[in-house]
A and B are shown apart, each in its own frame.
Chain A
Amino acid sequence: MTPQTTFLIGIALMMLSLPVSMLGWRKIFTLLTMLGAGFLGTIAILWHPAGNTVLSLVSFQLGVFTVELGLTWLSSIFLILLSVGCILGVAHGYAYLKDHDQRGLRSHGFFLGLLVLSLHLTVFARDALMLFFAWELMGFSSFFAILVERDEPTWKAAKYYLIFMQAGAAVLLTGIALAYSNTGSLRFDDWSGLPVMTAFVLMIGFAFKAGFFPFHSWLPVAHPMAPGHVSGMMSGLLTKTGIYGILLILVCFEPPIAGLYVFGAVALITALTGVFHALAETDIKRILAWSSIENIGIIGLGIVFAWLGKKLEVPAITMFGILGALLHSINHSLFKPMLFYLSGNVQHQAHERDINRLGGLQKRMPVTGYLFFAGSMAIAGLPLMNGFVSEFLVFLTILKGFRVFSVGFNIAAIVGLAGLAYVASIALFAFARMYGLAFLGEPRTEKAAHAKETKRGLWTVPSILAGLCLVGGITGDYMLSWLHGFLPDSMLAPDAEFISLLERFQPFRLVLVITLGLFLALFLWRRRKVRFARNATWGCGYEKPSAKMQYTGASFVHPVEPIMNMFTGKHRELDFDSSHFPTRLSFVREAKDRVQKRLIAPIVQSVHRFLDLFAGVQSGKTQVYITYGLVFLVAALIWVIVGES
């Protein structure tokens, strides 16, 4: 076996899965897709190229362009991330749709397969043409993959998402065109030394997909409407291609220090906006979507400090930063899909996503509950789980900055550290809120009261992910050593630095394992020794307690509301006749995304209005949209080619 044959087998399996899906053989489709992703991922594990070399896999001629597919150190890392994510995501999708109405599932499988294929192609692409093709394919296939439920809100959300993706693609295309005119080539290998402006445009194009502020508003719109496995894959994997794209560009040019500070500010604002919205929202999937935005911000901070380290010529900061950013990307691609899959399960069983209408699920869905708890621990960056390792690494990166004397950098480090600490604490608060309100206490509605645990199939994949998060948390230093092996010299610091980093994690693991062991032993011992009596929660002896006597989403965040309102705006309506003998009292509090409301929504509105001019061509049928997409792609290609000649 060579990497080339493995690649071809992988691609072939994936291609084969598409017609299989149309035939309705869902099991075979799933197996083929998983196998295909497995073959492709194996390449990165077995043959990932060292240093700055490229592992060339396939190249062919398309018109005047040579299309090349291959792997670098960077794409290898993201390939592994995507393969693992796709294998588990597709497997979960199979379980998730098992009992679903069969109508529309064939085409859903088709687009899901296409999404997996396009995700992989994105990181294999060695030139902008292939990348853009994969990019558009990804946008369209994910758009259709969202549309399992074909109701009005899903349609609206999917269209919003599509418009957003196309806007991002347009910016990206502009960037590619600029880069082509600057360098005369579409191959990334020829792009070193890109002008700042071009790189800037390209990065914005990628930022759309990653979900950086202010291009984040599609996530909380699209994710809740997609079925569990699709929202998980979109949030965990799709956004990572944006991160990959940004890193791809960053290695191509010399970012100016001011630009890095701007990027840092954007990353911090992204993280803060994300985390405060996650705190304000009451829809589980929207909370998770906003938390993805927060995590993208954290990854962004790691990247910024890595490149700031380069500027200051402190290789340790660079190494810490890039390791932190990459590890957090990987970790996020594990715990975020897991939480999305689980929230899909909750929606599946309780037919409700609003934490104000859930409650008491831990007793009704214990496995889902424990896994959700583990996922919340991971995402909140608590020790024991993998999120802690990568967030801690980003902290260490910034802390390293205090050893350097440079006023600008020190200020950035102080702001970054304080901001990150704040983000981390609010994330803990937000996930304590979500888990506590949805899973603890008493059910707030009949729907929640009648929720039952899912079939085993629906928590198999989340359990595997939880296991991976736990392993990643306990063996953080091994993960780092492994990741360290990928880095090229330009990202490396002297070995002593890396060893000192590992030494920080080793005692941690020891303490963790011992604590965990003791805890488990104590638990088992108590279980044997102590007789447990079960009784209703103490309610002051009141005879008729109700589920209203529990914290709500708004109540929980009330103490931090003044700060939260800076990011989410204050949307509060109180209707209370505060007479001596009041007869009505009602109160509504909602979080609204200001960027979405003030900036994006009007634009999307006008796009909608513009499209309405062509009301005749807008039939709302799937095939028609596919045709549009293809027409758009062809038009884009023609534009690029004409520009060249």
Chain B
Amino acid sequence: MTHKPITGLTMIDLLKARIRHGDQAIPDPLKTKTDPAFPGLPSFRKQDDESWDRARKSCPTGAIGENTLDLGRCVFCGVCQRNFPETFVFSNSFKMGASRRETLILDGTLTPDAYVASSIATTPDIRRLFGRSFKLRSVSAGGCAACELELNASTNVNFDINRYGIDIVASPRHADAVVVTGPITQNMAYALEETWKAVPAPKILILAGACAISGGLFADAPALQRGFLDKVEAILYLPGCPVHPLTIVHGITALIGRKK
């Protein structure tokens, strides 16, 4: 059963790897730029009613409303962008998080800069309590596990959210906030409520990804139970399908007042 090592120079190999690895951390995740292909904060200009209606019908999650685009429902599938490139323009800005659900419903009047400037509101209390140490407990409740992977990635060597004193902890007892991913299934509803109860006050609810915010692709699925969200109001919404690690880093740091 024993595997024979390929070479004998383990230490040299390790050093080679270490040197090649170098420094992989993004120097400042809040100032970095994503790949131009990344569909981030959109802006839109309604050209004519007919194409708008067609776009609206083609949207798989109904994110496109009468005159609005709901970031909380949008799965960034690009259908509208590809079919109506004049109407829908997705910038590569990842700073899409918002403190209020209504903020996510874009009406086309705000410029991306104006959106980012006002979307996330921190409070003196949050800054005082969590500004230097903010511990998250993740609850995965349905969905497709992509948001969970991105949440994990936000702690990896590239994005390294831990540099801001933010960490994902093993037990809700140690946590300040619950991050929900997924549309919240019936089978998971009890566990989510228990987790929330197990977090000592003061505590915060964060919804990450389209599924958690609005049900996303699964809004009409037969096995959901989203009653928890009627009882507890989230104070941070992180759009995306899945939510990009930079969106997570930006949203949470802004919430706890670390944004500079």
Interface residues of A (CB under 8 A from B): 533, 535, 538-543
Contacts and interface: CB of A to CB of B under 8 A. Distances in A.
B191 A535 contact: no
21 contacts: A533-B200, A533-B201, A535-B197, A535-B198, A538-B171, A538-B172, A538-B173, A538-B198, A539-B194, A540-B191, A541-B139, A541-B190, A541-B191, A541-B192, A541-B194, A541-B195, A541-B198, A542-B191, A543-B190, A543-B191, A543-B194
Nearest to B197: A535
Contacts of A541: 139, 190-192, 194-195, 198
A118 to B, nearest CB: 56
Contacts of B139: 541
Interface residue SS majority, chain B = helix
Contacts, number: 21
Interface string B171-201: 1110000000000000000111011011011
Nearest to B194: A541
Contacts of B173: 538
Interface string B201-221: 100000000000000000000
Nearest to A539: B194
Contacts of A533: 200-201
Interface residue SS majority, chain A = loop
Please list the 5 inter-chain residue pairs (A to B) with the smallest Cβ-Cβ separation, ordered nearest first.
A541-B191, A541-B194, A538-B198, A541-B195, A543-B190
Given A539-B194, A541-B198, 10 more contacts: A538-B172, A538-B173, A538-B198, A540-B191, A541-B139, A541-B190, A541-B191, A541-B192, A541-B195, A543-B194
Nearest to A531: B201
A543 B190 CA distance: 7
Contacts of A540: 191
Contacts of B171: 538
Contacts of B190: 541, 543
A538 B137 CA distance: 13
A532 to B, nearest CB: 10
B195 to A, nearest CB: 5
Contacts of B192: 541
A207 B66 CA distance: 96
B140 to A, nearest CB: 11
Contacts of B191: 540-543
A264 B18 CA distance: 56
Pick the most buried of B172, B192, B198: most chain A CB atoms within 10 A of its CB: B198
Contacts of B195: 541
A526 to B, nearest CB: 14
A195 to B, nearest CB: 64
A464 B145 CA distance: 60
A538 B191 CA distance: 11
Contacts of B198: 535, 538, 541
A477 to B, nearest CB: 42
Contacts of A535: 197-198
A542 B139 CA distance: 13
Contacts of A539: 194
Nearest to B193: A541
A543 B194 CA distance: 9
B182 to A, nearest CB: 14
A538 B170 CA distance: 11
Nearest to A541: B191
Contacts of B200: 533
Nearest to B191: A541
Contacts of A538: 171-173, 198
A45 to B, nearest CB: 53
A317 B190 CA distance: 66
Contacts of A542: 191
A545 to B, nearest CB: 11
A212 B225 CA distance: 67
